[in-house]
Amino acid sequence: MDASNLPWNASPTASPELRIINADDFEAWYASLVDAFGGVPEAPEEAALWQELTELDRSIGAFDAKTVVGSAGAFSFGLAVPGGAETAERPLVPAAGVTMVGVRSTHRRRGLLSAMMRSQLDDVRGRGEPVAVLTASEPAIYGRFGYGLASLRVSVTMDRHRVRIADPGLGRELRLSQADPVESLAVCEELYARVGPTRAGWLRRPAGWEKVAVLDPSSDRDGHSPLFCVLVEDPVTGGLGGYARYAVKPSWDRSGPNGSVRVRELYAASPEATAALWRYLLDVDLTDTVTSAGRPVDDALLSLVDDPRRCGPVVGDGIYLRPVEVGAALGARGYYRPVDLVLEVEDAFCPWNTGRWRLSADGKGAVCERTTDPADLALTVRELGAAYLGGVTLRSLATAGRVRELRAGALAAASAAFATDLAPWLPRGF
């Protein structure tokens, strides 16, 4: 990104100034971000890791004289999209992971956030990334920039004394063992990278990001133990079949122990490995509850338990997605059924996407190109982002008045084509 080309909506001598930060700016830039998110300092090891992972050439700072008053950054990811696991012929879709966005309250309502989003999306387009994704601390902010809610997640709090895990009935004995979270990281990451891309929403991250998975500063534990890790062996290959990382919070009252297990991450390559890990977690001594945040909404857990009501499932928002280049984005994913339709897209913030696009897809691939043919559906880029991963249907968006059918039958055909057999899921935030 060329800092000299960053736009601002005031005179050349006005303040603040937007520019790409350098290494000397990082400490002040990151301190401003921490302030914007409540001002609680992070553990030194956590701050050091984020400094290592931050891509300076994608990090915008807003400077009022020498004071940093705003920030916006992005990471370079590969996004799994509907259509099956990654292959040499069908790689993951390049995606910008939008992050570290904040404006000091002293400089609100001056167009600063819009200017940073404008610069960032221009840069994303210039890098050839068809989509941008984010997780939102305040979702209402990002709709006006074209981001749509593309996946949901479910959190559970299980009464371990009243929930039982069913046996998948495959008749294979599994061996579980405890391992050091850091020492077992490499083998766990291999399974994570192998299984993850089969579900849309998974992100491939640059080298170094694996450290986030086991980052465990004592200041963030809230009374929990350091991380534990349990591994389950694949009964066929003898390799790793799954893993779970978790922490235990001891607690006692007059009736005895009532501690809790907090599941940080659980990944498995088979139904029996999934069941074995959850059964293990529900059997941790001296505890009453098992909690896990941010599971996929179609998680196998809710089909394995004998009483899902005792899991207290709570649905929340997951990943937000924006097509940056509509044609490239729609042409990069697979479709559940063949489809041929024309989309009338409105995009006020990135006007290069506005207009009619013909999407043609079959089992061999997809093409999305500009056309002057009559439109079948009308929608904004925000709805297109919401439907992109298949977790939100075009039909449901139409019932909310956010998609208009212009040709009879087009909505049903399009909604079925955009669907996916597994709900999209972002297993690790950023």
Q: Which of 100-104, 154-158, 178-182 has the lowest mean pLDDT?
A: 100-104
DSSP 280-313: HHTT-TTEEEEEEEEE-TT-THHHHBS-GGGG--
> What is the per-residue pLDDT for 166?
83
How far, in Å, CA of 287 to CA of 165, rounded?
17
pLDDT of residue 13: 44
Across residues 306-324, what is the average pLDDT? 96
User: Percent of the chain scored above 90 by pLDDT?
Assistant: 86
Read off the pLDDT of each residue in 4-25 and give the average, rounded to a whole number.
69
Is residue 378 helix, strand or coil? strand
Tens digits of residue pLDDT in 49-100: 999 999 999 999 999 998 999 999 999 999 999 986 666 566 899 999 999 9
What percent of the chain has pLDDT above 70? 94
Phi then psi for 36, rounded to 5 degrees? -65, -25
Over residues 241-257, mean pLDDT: 95
- The active-site residue out of 75, 142, 192, 228 is 142
Asked whether residue 9 carries a pLDDT value surpassing 60, the answer given is no
For residue 27, what are the CA distances in angstroms to 23, 33, 47? 8, 10, 10
Residues 6+ apart with CB under 8 A from 29: 21, 59, 61, 68, 71
H helical segments located in 57-182: 112-126
Has this prediction a pTM greater than 0.85? yes
Task: Please state whether beta strands 339-346 and 377-380 pair in parallel, antiparallel, or not at all (unpaired).
Answer: parallel
pLDDT bin (cut points 50, 70, 90) of residue 121 is very high
Helices (DSSP H) in 201-264: which residue ranges? none
CATH number given to 3-129: 3.40.630.30
Q: Which of 147, 243, 246, 430 is catalytic?
A: 430
Measure Cα distances from 210 to 55, 189, 206, 269, 324 in Å: 16, 7, 9, 19, 27
4 vs 200 pLDDT, higher one: 200
pLDDT number for residue 370: 98
> How, if at all, do strands 240-249 and 228-233 pair?
antiparallel
Given a contact cutoff of 8 angstroms between Cβ atoms, the answer to whether 386 and 321 are in contact is yes
Estimate the crossing angle of helix 26-36 against helix 44-53, to 10 degrees. 120
Mean pLDDT of 321-342: 97
**pLDDT score for 236:** 78
Q: Quick one: tokens of 64?
A: 């009022």
pLDDT of 4 > 70? The answer is no
Look at residue 104 and give its three-state secondary structure.
Answer: coil
pLDDT at 194: 93
Answer yes or no: is pLDDT of 235 > 80: no
Number of other residues whose CB lies within 10 A of the CB of residue 130: 25
CATH number of the domain at 153-316, please? 3.40.630.30
- Confidence band, pLDDT 50/70/90 cuts, at residue 170: low
DSSP 209: G
User: Are the beta carbons of 342 and 168 closer than 8 angstroms?
Assistant: no
What pLDDT is stored for residue 168 in this prediction?
Answer: 73
* Band of residue 6 on the pLDDT scale cut at 50, 70, 90: low
Provide mean pLDDT across the span 186-205.
96
pLDDT for 191 equals 97
Show me where the domains of the chain are located: 3-129, 153-316, 326-418
- Return the pLDDT at 8: 45
> Tell me: the pLDDT tens digits for 342-395?
999 999 999 999 999 999 999 889 999 999 999 999 999 999 999 999 999 999
- Superfamily the domain 326-418 falls into: SCP2 sterol-binding domain (3.30.1050.10)
Residue 411's closest CA among 393, 389, 423?
393
Asked if residue 11 has pLDDT above 60, the reply is: no
Tell me, yes or no, if 142 is annotated catalytic.
yes
Q: For all residues of the chain together, what is the average pLDDT? A: 93
| Range 304-336 burial, b when 16+ CB lie within 10 A, else e | bbeeeebbebeeeebbbbbbbbbbbbbbbbbbb
Q: With contact defined as beta carbons under 8 Å apart, do 150 and 393 qualify?
A: no
Fold identical between 3-129 and 153-316?
Answer: yes
CB 344 within 8 A of CB 378: yes
Distances (CA, A) of 300 to 271, 273, 281, 430: 8, 11, 15, 24
Residue among 220, 298, 230, 239 nearest 263 (CA): 230
**To which residue do tokens 């086991």 refer?**
214
- What is the C-alpha separation between 134 and 34, in angstroms, rounded? 18
Higher-scoring residue by pLDDT: 258, 86: 258
Q: Has 30 been annotated as catalytic?
A: no
